A and B are shown apart, each in its own frame.
Chain A
Amino acid sequence: MKFIKKIVVCMLLLCCAFTFTACNKDDKIKIGILQSATHSALDAAREGFMKALEDAGYDDTKVTYDFENPEGNPANMQLMAKTLVRKCDIVLGIATDAAVALKVAAETEGTNIPVLFTAVTDAVDASLVESNEHPNGRVTGTSDINPVADQIALAKQLKQDLKKVGILYTISETNSKVQADMAIEEIEKEGLEYLERTVTGVTDIQQTLKKLISDGAEIIYIPTDNNLAKNMVSVCNIANESKIPVICGKENMVKAGGLITFGVNYTKLGEMVGAMAVQIIEGADPKDLPVGRLSQDECNLVINTSTVSILGIEIPSEIMEKATKVTTE
C-alpha cells in the first residue's frame, strides 16, 4: 500500500513538472539538433546550419529549433536523441556519436523522419549510410573528411628535404584514426617515412610528443583531434621550442599556436547540410541526396605568423599569398 502511495506521489510530481512546460502546438517546422559536446568547430557547424536555413527563408516564423547537448555523456545522449526524434520533423546530429544516436533512436521508435548529420568523418564506417553516393535510407548529411593529401603535400612544400613525418593523435578518437590512416597512406605514397604515436588523454601528451621529436620527426601532423585541439597550447609550446613545425587538422588549432592548416571550414560544412535540410523540407528524399563534402576551394588555408617567426623558417611565397594569416591568441 505504502509502495503504491509512493508511486502516486512520484506521478504527481511528474505532472507538476509538466504544468511548467508550455505546450505550443503550431505548424512551424520543428528541427532538432543534437550536438555531442561544446566545441568551437561543432558550434560553427551548428551556426552554419541555422544560417543556411535562414538564408533560404526559413526564419523564426517558419521553424523552431530544439537544441540538446549531452556534453559527452553517452546515456543522456540516448535520452536526448529519443526525445528529439519524437518531437521533431527533422533532426540533425553534429559529430558521429550524436548522428548514430539519432539514427538508432529513429529506428527504435519506428519513426520515419529524416536524420541529417554533419562533422562525421566516415559515415559508411559508422553505418549511417550505405555508401556516400547513395545513402539509401532516411539518413544523409555532410562529412568533415579532411583534405589529408593536401595537408601532407603542405609538409613537403614547407621542407624540401623532408624524410620523417610524425603523426600524433588521441587513440580513443575514431575520426582521428581514420585521418591518421589516410595520412600514412599519403606519406608512403610520397616515399617518406612516418612515425605514428598516440596519446590516451591529457597527461601523456608531453612525454609522447617529446619522444616523437627525439625519435626524429621533422614535421608533426595532427588531425582534427578534439583532445589535442583542446591542449594545443601545450603541444605547440613543446613543438615550437624544438623548432618543429606542426601541421594541424583545423583552424582553431592554428590559432592556438600550430603552424599551418588546410582544413575544413565548419561553418561552410554546416551551411551545406543546412541547404540539404531546405531541399528535404521542400520535398526531396534524403536517399537521393549524396553525402556532401567540401571542395578544395571551400577549405581554408590558414597560417600562424607568430609561429612562423618563432620557428624562423622560410615559407614559400605561393603559400603565404593564398593563406589567411592569424596570430597566436
Chain B
Amino acid sequence: MLDTLRFILNDALNLGFAYGLLALGIFISYRLLDFADLTAEGSFTLGGAFVAALIFNGANPFLATLLSIVVGFVAGIITGLLHTKLKIPSLLSGIITMTALFSINMILMGIGKTGKFDSAVYLGNSKTIYDYIGIFKQKYLNIIVVNFLVITLATMFCYWLFGTEFGMSLRATGMNQKMARAQGINTSFMIIIGLGISNALISLSGALTAQTNQSADCNMGVGTLVIGLASIIVGEAIFGKRSFLNWIISVALGSVLYYLIIGIAINLGLDSYLLKLLYAILIIIVLTAPFIKKGFMKLKRKES
C-alpha cells in the first residue's frame, strides 16, 4: 500500500516534470499569446526524434538536448512566420508546420540507417543524459532529479522573461493585440518569438521523454496537446493563479497532478477499457474541487 503510493508519486514526478515543460510551452501559446498553436504535437516529436537520432549516431547527449531546444524554437518561428507574414489563420499555420514536421521527423529518424527514413529510433544501450548523472544508484531517481532541475530552470526563466519589458509586451499582445499595437509594440515579432519559445520548451520536453524511454517514435507526440491543456487546467484549478508567479508554478506542477490522477487510475486495478472513464471522472472531481470548496465556505459563513 505505502509502496504503491510511493511508486505512484515517483511516476507522477518522473513523467510530470518532463511533461511540465510541455505544459509551460502550451501555456505560453494558449494562455499568454492567446494563440491556438497546434505545432505542439509536431515539435514534441521533433525534439524526441532529433535527440534520439543524434544520440543514435554517437553525439553527446547534453549537446543533443541543448540543440533540440534550438530546433523547437525554429519550428515555432516557422508557425509564427506563416501566421504573421503570410497571413495564414493561426490554427491552420500550426497544422501546416505539424504536418511538415511529420516528414521531417521521419527523415531525422532515418539518419545513419540503411533506408532514407524510419518511423522509430531505439537507443538500446546508447548513453543518455540520465546515464551521466549518478547522484543516486537508482536510475529513476536520477531522472526525477534531472527533470526537476530542468523544469525549475525553465520556470525561473519564464518568470524572469515575462517580467521584462519584452515579456510584458508579449503578454500585452496576447491580451489585446490592437491595443498593444497602438502602444507601439511590434505584435508580429512578439507572436513569432513567443511561439518560438513555446515550441522550444515543448521540443525540450520531447527530448527528455525520448531519453527516458530510450526510444523515439513518430507517434510519440499523439495526444500531447490534450495532456498539456489538461495539465494547465488541473494545475490552475488546484494551485490557483493569484499572481503570475503562482500561475506559472501551478502550470509547471499541473502535469504532476495529472499523472498522479492517471497513476491512481491505473493502480486501482480496473480493466483497461474502463480507464478512460475513470480519468474523466477523476478530472471532473479535481476541476470541481474549487467550486465545492467555495460552496463549503458559503455554508460556513451562513452558519456563523
Partner-B contacts on A (CB < 8 A): 3, 6, 10, 14-15, 17-18, 20-23, 66-76, 78-80, 82-83, 86, 96-97, 100-101, 104, 107-110, 125-127, 171-174, 177, 181, 200
Shortest Cβ distance from residue A153 to the other chain B in the assembled complex, whole angstroms:
24
Shortest Cβ distance from residue B298 to the other chain A in the assembled complex, whole angstroms:
18
Q: Which of A3, A20, A69, A174 contacts B272 (CB 8 A)?
A: A69
Contact with A along B255-273 (1 / 0, CB 8 A): 0010110111011110111
Asked if A83 meets B272 with Cβ closer than 8 Å, knowing A73-B223, A108-B140, A109-B140, the reply is no
Interface residues of B in 100-145 (CB under 8 A from A): 102, 106, 115, 117-120, 122-125, 137-140, 143
Contact with A along B4-22 (1 / 0, CB 8 A): 1101100100010001000
Q: Which residue of A lies closest to B113 (CB)?
A: A125
Contacts of B239 in A (CB 8 A): 3, 6
5 A-B contacts (beta carbon < 8 Å): A10-B260, A75-B259, A97-B215, A100-B213, A172-B218
The reply to whether B257 and A177 contact each other, CB–CB distance below 8 Å, is: no
Q: Is B57 an interface residue (CB 8 A)?
A: no
Shortest Cβ distance from residue B215 to the other chain A in the assembled complex, whole angstroms:
5
Contacts of B8 in A (CB 8 A): 14
The reply to whether B11 and A104 contact each other, CB–CB distance below 8 Å, is: no
Q: Which residue of A lies closest to B268 (CB)?
A: A21
The reply to whether A126 and B262 contact each other, CB–CB distance below 8 Å, is: no
The reply to whether B223 and A83 contact each other, CB–CB distance below 8 Å, is: no
Q: Which of A6, A22, A70, A78 contacts B212 (CB 8 A)?
A: A78
Q: Is B86 an interface residue (CB 8 A)?
A: no
Summed over the interface, the residue pairs from A and B with CB atoms below 8 Å come to a total of 121
The reply to whether A83 and B267 contact each other, CB–CB distance below 8 Å, is: yes
Contacts of A72 in B (CB 8 A): 219, 222
Asked if A18 meets B219 with Cβ closer than 8 Å, knowing A75-B227, A79-B263, A82-B11, the reply is no
Assembled-state Cα–Cα distance A200/B219 (Å): 12
Assembled-state Cα–Cα distance A74/B224 (Å): 9
Q: Which of A21, A75, A171, A181 contacts B119 (CB 8 A)?
A: A171
Q: Is B1 an interface residue (CB 8 A)?
A: yes
Shortest Cβ distance from residue A15 to the other chain B in the assembled complex, whole angstroms:
8
Assembled-state Cα–Cα distance A150/B213 (Å): 36
Contacts of A67 in B (CB 8 A): 271-272
The reply to whether A181 and B115 contact each other, CB–CB distance below 8 Å, is: yes
The reply to whether A78 and B272 contact each other, CB–CB distance below 8 Å, is: no
Q: Which residue of B lies closest to A9 (CB)?
A: B289
Contacts of B139 in A (CB 8 A): 107-110
